[in-house]
Amino acid sequence: MTCEQIRELLSPFSDDELDAASSRAVERHVAGCAACAAALDELRALGIRVRREADYEPAPDTLRARVLADIGLARPGASGPRAETIAPGRARIARANPWRGLAIAAGLLVLLGGAWYGGRIGAGEDALMREVTAAHVRSLQPGHLMDVVSTDQHTVKPWFAGRLDYSPPVTDLAPDFPLIGGRLDVLNGRPVAALVYQRRKHVINVFAWPEPGARDAVGPTTSRDGWHVIEAAHAGMALRVVSDLDPRELEGFAQRLIAAK
Amino acid sequence: MADDIQASGPARAALSARELERFERCVLPHLDAAWNLARHMLRDAHEAEDAVQEAMLRACRHFGGLRGVDGRPWLMAIVRNTCLTQLRRRRPAGQAVEFDEEAHTPETAAGPELELARVRASDSVREALAALAIEFREVIVLRELEGLSYREIATVIDAPIGTVMSRLSRARHQLACALRGETAGREAAEHGGDAS
């Protein structure tokens, strides 16, 4: 293929949306053509820049309140924002309302009823599942994915020291599942380590927190709303692996994760 | 929990408690995505709020009985249509809002110069994105900010995947040109050649 033809494929190629044959053709060409390789780099850099710099913000609380009222979810006595959020200029107050975290709202009642003990599987698992998927969704918003951006496990691991009172297992699984960074997240009101991996365009979040005595294992996959969550345990940590990646691939990832030293 | 919802009274969109719970789980989490798409499409916060409110209400009405649908692209399609309707209302009569694929497709015959003529140099992503034609802006938002697959975007904009592919490709090209500070053709001339 000519450079011109390749250039037209770079955009879908960078999105991992080409069929296998075209994709291989682009790979081969780019390996031997500095100009096209530079064009591909530029395209990828553009994507990063757009994701980082474009306007993106959570829906205003006033809007959320209006929507919830419309669909009949703003109920008296519940945590929904009420009159004060309707008055403009009181938005600051509304900021603090619990509706901001969507899944918090969804999971709140369940959480209140069935306590969750350090991630033990039981009555609280459903709520935890929701929290985990909500945290995953939140992380996919631009600027939320990573606090420390690094493909180097020796950078990511120390980053957590001082931020958490435990040290999560950090393993790079490149080239199949490269580690791209980490961040602090919150599950059930406490900070947990979130490690971010990538498989093609799919982001995989691995949440980790201590669970003393847990034996290394990969548990069942639960799917909800297009997200897949795998329970696992490794090195005395409870893990939750979340992604929209194909469940079989995700399980393969989880297996490799706990096989790591 | 279900009782609470039922007791809450006027579910104006008339979903059963069970359906409401499902709506809360499958659709409501995408409110932020809906808001951002509307904001980028309408470029006006107030209008975006109205559009999203209306879209959520519509979504709620059509939600009952819906199964096996991925909430996000489904909601995004509704938001997009609501925004387009709003834009049509906004335009003075007679001004077409339909996207003319040809007008935005210089392709190889006209060369990239014509395309560049539509792009204003910009040093911020915000500006450059806002200056894109809406059909390009929406695919950038859906892809880069929402991370939808081409198939999902095709669902949202109701177009074949091939169209998604070529629009994204051209949208990126325009963005890159704008950010590189390249201005060409008409606009540069109009602005007294302020291109670098």
Q: pLDDT tens-digit profile of A99-139?
A: 444 444 444 444 443 333 333 434 467 788 888 988 898 88
Binary contact (B36, A56; C-beta < 8 A): yes
Q: Does B41 contact A at CB distance below 8 Å? A: no
Minimal Cα–Cα distance from B23 to chain A, Å? Answer: 9
Binary contact (B145, A105; C-beta < 8 A): no
| pLDDT 10s digits, B98-137 | 554 544 444 333 444 444 444 556 668 999 999 999 999 9
With beta carbons under 8 A apart, name residues in chain B contacting A60: 35, 45, 49
Closest-CA residue of A relative to B24 is: A106
Query: What torsion do the CA atoms of B46, B54, A84, A97 make, to the nearest 10 degrees?
Result: -100
Name the token pair of A88: 């403009």
Query: What torsion do the CA atoms of A241, A247, A252, A256 make, to the nearest 10 degrees?
Result: 0
Separation of alpha carbons A133 and A137, rounded Å = 6
Let me know the angle formed at the C-alpha of A195 by A194 and A196, rounded to the nearest 5 degrees: 120
- Structure-model confidence comparison of residues A213 and A254, the more confident one: A254
| pLDDT 10s digits, B39-97 | 999 999 999 999 999 999 999 988 876 777 788 999 999 999 999 999 998 766 545 54
Closest-CA residue of A relative to B40 is: A55
Binary contact (A54, B125; C-beta < 8 A): yes
- The pLDDT value recorded for residue A74 is 65
Binary contact (A70, B60; C-beta < 8 A): yes
**In the sheet that A237-243 helps form, which strands lie side by side, from edge to edge?**
A148-149, A179-187, A190-199, A202-210, A237-243, A227-234, A217-224
Minimal Cα–Cα distance from B157 to chain A, Å? Answer: 17
Name the token pair of A237: 């940590």
pTM over 0.80: no
Q: Does A17 contact B at CB distance below 8 Å? A: yes
Q: Does A98 contact B at CB distance below 8 Å? A: no
With beta carbons under 8 A apart, name residues in chain B contacting A75: 4-5, 7-9
In the predicted model, is pLDDT for residue A9 greater than 70?
yes
In the predicted model, is pLDDT for residue A25 greater than 90?
yes
In the predicted model, is pLDDT for residue A256 greater than 60?
yes
Q: Which of B173, B99, B85, B109 is nearest to B133 (CA)?
A: B99
| pLDDT 10s digits, A223-238 | 887 889 999 999 899 9
Q: What percent of chain A is predicted at pLDDT more than 70?
A: 80
* Nearest by CB: A71 against B13, B36, B144: B13
Which ipTM was obtained for this model? 0.74
